[in-house]
Amino acid sequence: MEEDTKDLLQRGYKKYTGHEVDVYFHTGKCTHAANCLKYLPSTFNMNRKPWILPDAALREDVKRVIATCPSEALLYVEKNDSFFV
Ligand code: SF4
């Protein structure tokens, strides 16, 4: 799900910046279902600071796992795809 970034920050989300995708997390919405930790531990790891590293996995995997978050505690915003070869 893509969201307006300013709105997300106003709604209490914290931003974790990545090169291709920014991840947003809302502590109060997290129901600790642990889908993120279980399915993508390279990006989501509670034993590390910051606990979310958007660039530690492929963009598509980050998006796929965020889609399994049952509480909308995790959201993402993709960066502009335009780059030059
Ligand atoms: S998948 Fe969502 S609800 Fe579950 S632990 Fe991760 S952020 Fe929290």
pTM (whole model) above 0.85: yes
- Ligand 1 pocket check for 35: Cβ under 6 Å: yes
Q: Is the peptide bond before 41 cis (omega within 30 degrees of 0)?
A: no
- Tell whether ligand 1 has an atom less than 6 A from the beta carbon of residue 67: no
Band (pLDDT 50/70/90 cuts) for residue 83 is: low
pLDDT digits (tens, 9 = 90+) for 23-38: 999 999 999 989 999 9
Q: 1 with 67: CB under 8 angstroms?
A: yes
Q: Which atom of ligand 1 is nearest to the CA of 44?
A: 6
CA of 41 to the centre of ligand 1 (A): 12
Q: How many CA atoms lie within 13 A of 16 on its CB side?
A: 19
Q: What pLDDT, on the 0 to 100 scale, is given for residue 4?
A: 77
Domains defined for the chain, CATH in brackets? 5-78 (3.30.70.20)
